[in-house]
Amino acid sequence: MTSPASPSQIGRAVRAGFSILAVIGGFILLWETYKLAWGALDWSWPVRPDNRTMPHSWDVVVALFQPAQRRGPILLLVELRAALFTLWEAFVGFLMGGAVGFGLGVLFVRSQTAERAFMPYVVGSQTVPILAIAPMVVVWGGRVDLPQWFIVSIIAAYLTFFPVAINTLRGLRSPQRTALELMTSYAASPREALWKLRVPSALPYIFTALKVSAAASVIGAIVGELPAGFRGGLGRDLLQFSQQFTAAPEKMFAAVIVAGLAGITFVGAVTLVEHRVVVAARRQSGEIGRAAA
Amino acid sequence: MTLVVEARSVSKTFGRAGEAVSALAGIDLEMSQGDFISLIGPSGCGKSTLLRLIADLAKPTGGELSVNGKTPERARTDRDYGMVFQSATLLDWRTVTKNVELPLEIMDVGGSERARRAEEMLKLVQLGQFADHFPWQLSGGMQQRVAIARALAFSPALLLMDEPFGALDEMTRELMQQEVLRLWGETGTSVVFVTHSIPEAVFLSTRVLVMTPRPGTISHEIAIDLPSRRDNETRKNPRYFELITEVRDALRSHD
């Protein structure tokens, strides 16, 4: 089933690549047409088409390939390195948050009392803005000498665990009543019912949450870098470029594009794992079709 | 020889006192090894409830019930019975083989022995060539055959079937009935079969128990004295039609 890429898989990948390029091309076309048309008509609503507000797409590309600082490496390399750093923080936070979220889901499905006791706080935690949480974590983490990147990971984990917890719980409760009774008829222990029935049933739900969490963990990591101005990641660069926005807007756009790519890469990686692990995902994508039965 | 199922004035009430609904009352039943008993009756007559009591998926409110000479709970934890539901209830992420192996995994049967048993069972239900398919790649009838293979994989003394063919079309249904009779003959398991199809009950059973609702009781017990070898000829046998009429009259005598 996991044989090397078949012609149909290569074809699918090529088509996917083309559609991505087409969307990017279409977006650039819209962007430049807007600038041209609004400029010619002298309109300024909703966005002024001047080069300070909306730099030319090629200027953004050029900015990516110019040194970020005099005699330094080009901006693209600087930002890619920063993105890797931030992705690492996000990934560690994603793992921690995912584990906590999964644990909470399992705890809640095992014990209604625990669900009633803790669920309000789990939900409540998400109404507190990350911008309020981040400085507290930075201060507390600094007191116990945690490495800076790990403090950022904790902040990323804070954004990650909630969707995983909610979806895990939902997924663990998804098996039909008869499937649970089947396990009872085998005199299966709760642990066996959990690992052989509930968790596999929950996997499609969990992966949906993990994709949301992957994107959220990147945001969490970027925001987490801000309050103490931690160096090395995308957060500080984005902050710096936003301050220089009126002078060099294309740098900001370039950094935003790299940050977006980082998020897409992470979500894409989770999707790849999902395809390996979840049969239903392979079924949906048509990788395993209906057999001649 | 111990009875496979023995019930003495078993009753089941749902809900609390005051607003209690009586689902079963005064159920007496004796079932010997090798019996094929069908429970038939209109919806709500408690036939599925009785099956669930035998399976220890629900507890009786009164009376005495034993399975293989033990309490139903003990029989369940001893894995004395296999269960087949109306929906095949196969696990979508497991191949056909892995679905059949599921109860064996839970019963800590070793890997090679599991594979051997699964292969044997799939051959028995004539699905050997579909071993590596996923359940959703099979037709409804084939899925139900996998469910039966799974229920028989650990050689239980008793097979409990809750309207197993209710969702199948008539043609598939008749083929499956033939299949179940063949398996019953080859494995020597006793079967309790819940259905609301009169011809199905008559064709399959050694005894048909007719149930009436509110509260659920066994009103008639009809021994099926058809030849033990049953096939399409049986369906043309005048005695078959007489027995169908007898069951139908029994069902109607309460309207």
pLDDT tens-digit readout, B13-61:
988 777 888 899 999 999 999 999 999 999 888 999 999 999 999 999 9
Pairing state of beta strands B190-195 and B36-40?
parallel
pLDDT digits (tens, 9 = 90+) for A209-222: 999 999 999 999 99
Average pLDDT over residues B72-82: 95
Q: Is B72 on the interface with A (CB under 8 A)?
A: no
Neighbouring C-beta atoms of residue B93, cutoff 10 Å? 19
Cβ partners under 8 Å of residue B205, min gap 6: B36, B37, B38, B193, B224
Secondary element (H or E) of residue A181: helix A177-185
pLDDT band at B217 (very low <50, low <70, confident <90, very high): very high
What is the per-residue pLDDT for B134?
Answer: 95
Axis crossing angle, helix B140-152 with helix B96-106, rounded to the nearest 10: 30
Q: Tell me the CB-side half-sphere exposure of residue A38, using CA atoms within 13 A.
A: 17
Please answer yes or no on whether B89 and A280 come within 8 Å at the CB atom.
no
Q: How confident is the model at residue B1 (pLDDT cuts 50, 70, 90)?
A: low
CA dihedral of residues B146, B148, B152, B156 (deg, nearest 10): 150
**Is residue A1 over pLDDT 50?**
no
Give pLDDT, residue A5.
64
> Chain B residue closest to A277 (CA)?
B93
Compute the radius of gyration of chain A from its Cα atoms.
23
ipTM value of the model? 0.91
pLDDT of residue A109: 95
**A chain contacts of residue B83, beta-carbon cutoff 8 Å:** 181-182, 185
B137 close to A (CB below 8 A): yes
- pLDDT at position A292 is 43
Side chain identity at B45, as an amino acid letter? C
pLDDT of residue A271: 94
CB B96 within 8 A of CB B127: yes
State the Cα–Cα distance between residues B122 and B100, nearest whole angstrom: 8
Contact between chains at A280 and B76 (C-beta distance less than 8 A): no
Q: Which band of pLDDT confidence, cut at 50, 70 and 90, is reported for residue A13? A: confident
- Give the pLDDT of residue A293: 42
DSSP state of A164: H
Q: Which among B57, B138, B139 is the nearest to A181, CB-wise?
A: B57
Would an 8 Å CB–CB cutoff place B64 in contact with chain A?
A: no
B57, B106, B134 ranked by CB distance to A188: nearest: B106
Q: How far is B248 from chain A (nearest CA, A)?
A: 30
d(CA A30, CA A37): 10
Instruction: Quote the minimal CA–CA distance from B102 to chain A in Å.
Output: 8
pLDDT digits (tens, 9 = 90+) for A249-282: 988 999 999 999 999 999 999 999 999 999 888 8
Query: At CB < 8 Å, which residues of chain A contact B?
Result: 176, 178-179, 181-188, 192, 196-197, 200, 203, 278-280, 283, 288-291, 293
Q: Say which residue, A16 or B80, is predicted with more confidence.
A: B80
- What is the H or E stretch that residue B222 is in? strand B217-223
**Interchain CB contact of B140 with A (< 8 Å):** no
A186 → closest Cβ in B79, B92, B138: B79
